[in-house]
């Protein structure tokens, strides 16, 4: 089925307000879930919404939590998320980082005691739409083994790098430190599909493309093998140090759910050094060169990170957002 974006956002808001979420927070959260779904990232949009409601019902996410700045030096701020809705905290933190960048050329907000921010790339698009280069990342619960180990000790700690173009065709890299985010693995399993390349180990210790086996083993494959493992570690440490919050190790020790996370939002305003034409020119020369490559598979095109989203967004705005019947039924049952 397909659901119009306006209906989806209204439904999300209604359900959140019914869980004692203030209307302004509910609106930001609902818009984030809907925009993520419009862009075709269903695994972290409409499909992930019921899990947030589950966390609210369990009391592990504070419906009324609002982020607060607890320390400031220059253009660096430390925030406490008060265990509120993660995608709202992240949205407000990135807005503030962009404000600081507009004033000073660069701004950084590190936030502790927050929760799952849903689609990582949302905050890259948010910053790029304000003309800012962005780097942001989060830690997670332990859900990935360190290279050479079996038990999940690291997080798949998604990292985003966004580079703005004045026409809105931004370059936005959104990647977890695992070959596939757990939401993508779940989506493949729900659609009875195999992953296109190996994404983890099965319960017998073999590399596999079977999403159900990976979910059972809880052994996802780090990107770049040992390189992804190392990058996950350093992102976790920097996030905890700057925010004063939990590491992946702390999250695994203190909680049974993926809550109490640490995140970093860094925004840089290139207009302090470049004109928009200069920045656009640099980007276009590189993208044109890359896209002039001969495709490895005849008929395929070479896409840059973020290129697909704009096309999918326009299609879903016109036709409605595709949703699995069972997912929408589950969401509608959450009303009241």
Task: Pull the structure tokens for residue 312.
Answer: 């999918």
Residue 170 annotated to the active site = no
DSSP label at residue 266:
E
- Return the H-helix or E-strand segment holding 264: strand 259-268
Is-contact 130 107, C-beta < 8 A? Answer: no
Q: What angle do CA 222, 228, 234 make, to 5 degrees?
A: 130
Task: Pull the structure tokens for residue 287.
Answer: 């993208």
Residue 161: other Cβ atoms inside 10 A = 18
Strand-pair category, 159-163 with 171-175: antiparallel
Is-contact 264 238, C-beta < 8 A? Answer: yes
Is-contact 158 174, C-beta < 8 A? Answer: yes
Q: Looking at 166-230, which runs of residues are DSSP E strands?
A: 171-175, 200-201, 207-208
The b/e string for 82-118 (b: 16+ C-beta within 10 A; e otherwise) is bbbbbbbbbbbbbbbbbebbbeeebbbbbbbbbbbbb
Closest CA relative to residue 243, chosen from 149, 137, 162, 160: 137
Query: Of these residues, 44, 116, 170, 272, which one is catalytic?
Result: 44
Task: Pull the structure tokens for residue 308.
Answer: 């697909």
Is-contact 169 310, C-beta < 8 A? Answer: yes
* Catalytically annotated residues: 44
């Amino acid at each position: 089925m397909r659901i119009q974006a306006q209906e989806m956002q209204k439904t999300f808001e209604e359900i959140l307000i019914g869980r004692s979420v203030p209307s302004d927070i509910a609106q930001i959260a609902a818009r984030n879930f809907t925009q993520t779904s419009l862009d075709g990232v269903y695994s972290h949009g409409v499909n992930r919404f019921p899990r947030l409601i589950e966390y609210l019902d369990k009391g592990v996410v504070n419906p009324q939590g609002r982020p607060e700045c607890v320390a400031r030096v220059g253009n660096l701020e430390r925030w406490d998320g008060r265990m509120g809705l993660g995608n709202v905290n992240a949205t407000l933190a990135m807005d503030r980082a962009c404000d600081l960048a507009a004033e000073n050329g660069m701004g950084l907000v590190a936030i502790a005691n927050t929760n799952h921010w849903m689609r990582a790339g949302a905050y890259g698009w948010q910053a790029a739409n304000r003309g800012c280069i962005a780097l942001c990342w989060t830690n997670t619960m332990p859900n990935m083994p360190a290279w050479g180990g079996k038990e999940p000790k690291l997080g798949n700690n998604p990292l985003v790098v966004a580079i703005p173009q004045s026409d809105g065709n931004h370059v936005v890299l959104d990647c977890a430190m695992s070959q596939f985010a757990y939401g993508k693995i779940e989506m493949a399993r729900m659609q009875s599909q195999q992953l296109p390349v190996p994404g983890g180990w099965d319960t017998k210790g073999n590399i596999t493309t079977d999403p159900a086996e990976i979910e059972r083993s809880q052994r996802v494959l780090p990107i770049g093998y040992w390189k992804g493992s190392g990058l996950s570690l350093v992102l976790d440490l920097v996030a905890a140090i700057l925010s004063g919050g939990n590491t992946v190790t702390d999250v695994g020790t203190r909680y049974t759910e993926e809550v109490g996370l640490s995140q970093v939002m860094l925004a840089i305003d290139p207009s302090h050094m470049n004109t928009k034409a200069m920045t656009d020119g640099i980007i276009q020369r590189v993208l044109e060169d890359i896209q002039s490559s001969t495709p490895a598979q005849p008929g395929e095109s070479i896409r840059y990170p973020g290129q697909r989203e704009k096309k999918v967004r326009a299609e879903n705005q016109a036709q409605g957002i595709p949703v699995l019947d069972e997912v929408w039924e589950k969401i509608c049952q959450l009303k009241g």
